[in-house]
Structure 1
Amino acid sequence: MSRDGPTNRLDRRLIERCEEIPTDPPTGNYVVVDVLHFSNTVIELFRNGAEYVHITDKRGNEPGFKSETPEARIGGSTMPTYEPEPGYDFFNSPSYVQEVDVAGRPVSMTSSNGGRTVARLRDVLGPDSEVYVGSTMNAGALAAHLRGSDRPTYIVSAGSQGDVAIEDHVGATLISRALDDIPVSTAEREVFRRQVKVAKGPGYAEKNDLRRRDVCEYAMAFDSRTVVPKLTGESLVDVARTATRTGAASD
């Protein structure tokens, strides 16, 4: 801590793109941030009751998972009409998955940025490291879960097709600030929300009602969720839900 208050350790935590993940990364907690739209889709799948979210090594493996797990729902690419490609139940959109019945069901999905980053970390990390999924929506809840861990935390902005993604950096900043107990002022919050809204271009949120909701009702809804997705084996589970159930059972 500096004389002026807590110090934001984002510089030492941040990995700016999936492509910058080291081949032999140090042990730690790794948080994958893909705000538009992988992270928020995962969060909403759990919020709507998904049992777990299996992350495939690559797009196209999801039907194989469903053939072995018939009750599963699977996510794929989007059609120009903003519907899932044939054979899939949804695509990466926190708005779209509100209409998909996932309660009590397993889910399988990936994405070209966030899902790929989770798979990459799964391949290169040792057994003493952990992988989480974070976003603007669950920054505070995730930081509360990780605060006090004896492992360092690294925040991976997934990026977009190899480029830096400003919305992922906003999510990373919120998580890091919460870890360091540095409040976000009202003025900063409005600047960050504006950056998220225009990150994919000034007209992105207006091009389709579904994408408008993805951006304005989900990505810009800072600290609105308590879901904490954590990788266990090949799948993400919501450890906040597990903790709640354990606490209820012990009461």
Structure 2
Amino acid sequence: MTVHTVDRLEDVPDPSPDATFVVVDVIISSTSIVRLLEAGASYVRPFADADEARAFAADTEDAVLVGEQGGQPVDGFDCSPLPSLIAQREFADRPVGILTSNGTRAVSRIGHGADVLIGSTVNAAAVAAHLRERDRDVWLVAAGRQGDPTPEDSAGVELIRRCYEDGSTDFDPADLAAQVRESGTAEWLQNLGFENEVEDLCAFNTSDVVPRLVDGRFVAE
């Protein structure tokens, strides 16, 4: 079994190989999906197109749309994907559609029929433990931003890789936490007054939820 890493979704081979993929979009899609499932969402369906997401909401009873494009709200959507704002709403037993600039686009590129997990800094150890139970090649995919690598996604991939290869979290994560805090995206969040979001991302391995794509929907593994 081989573990591959890429620093941006554009480097994923096309067509996608037969493997398990872990999509890592730390700020913010991956973390949002983890938190939505923790909040009791019946499932989280990723979208790369806003019109498709709105059509899903129109056809699905009690659905909620969560999303952003370029960091801005999306017309017809109910909630930002920031975890602190997700925590203020009720998602228990509700189907959720999610659209983000990079993370859900990465899932779409890999393909909804592939074996896809969601990884972030908050669930890295749980993802690594799940991967060790499988006998397949693994691709750890940092989503990046519009074709460019991002420090926070690369840090998330590295954290999962270390947890997977070491079989433990017995290493000093300070450098990876600094990489997240000093990223441009984290600085943007801090300037908006969401310092708490960044610190939550640096509280590594706080969740046991491993989202897995089943029939085009993420459910808790």
Q: What's the counterpart of residue 53 of structure 1?
A: 44
Q: Deviations over 1:94-134 (max 9, x none)?
A: 111001211000000121111000111116xxx6x510000
User: 2: CA distance between counterparts of 1:79 and 1:192?
Assistant: 25
Q: How much has 1:183 moved relative to structure 2?
A: 4.7
Gaps of 5+ in 1: 1-8, 240-251
How far off is 1:189 after superposition?
1.0
Q: How far apart are residue 86 of structure 1 and its match?
A: 4.5
Relative to the length of structure 1, the TM-score reads 0.81
1:17 and 1:156 in contact (8 A); partners too = yes
Contact 1:59-1:111 at 8 Å conserved across structures: no
Partner of 2:76: 87
Name the structure 1 match of 2:31: 40
User: Is 2:147 aligned against 1:162?
Assistant: yes
Mapping 1:224-235, distance limit 5 Å: 224-235=206-217
Contact kept in structure 1, 2:181 and 2:187, CA below 8 Å: no
Partner of 1:152: 137
Shift of 1:79: 10
Q: In the alignment, does 2:88 pair up with 1:99?
A: yes
* Residues 184 and 146 of structure 1: CA distance in aligned 2, closer, same or farther (over 3 Å): closer
Partners of 2:70 and 2:162 in 1: CA distance: 37
User: In the alignment, does 2:197 pair up with 1:208?
Assistant: no
SS of the residue 1:90 aligns to: coil
Question: Is 2:173 aligned against 1:173?
Answer: no
Taking the aligned partners of 1:79 and 1:130, their CA distance within structure 2 comes to 27
Cα–Cα, structure 1 residues 24 and 87, in superposed 2: closer, same or farther, change >3 Å?
A: closer
Asked whether the equivalents of residues 40 and 91 of structure 2 are also in contact (C-alpha less than 8 Å), the reply is: yes
- Output the CA distance in 1 between the equivalents of 2:17 and 2:124: 23
Say how many residue pairs are matched. Answer: 220
Q: Which deviates more, 51-60 or 176-185?
A: 176-185
**Equivalents in 1 of 2:198, 2:106: separation in Å?**
21
| TM-score using structure 2 length | 0.91
Tell me, yes or no, if the aligned pair for 1:205 and 1:216 is still in contact at 8 Å: no
Could you say what secondary structure the match of 1:214 adopts? helix
- Give 1:13's aligned residue: 4
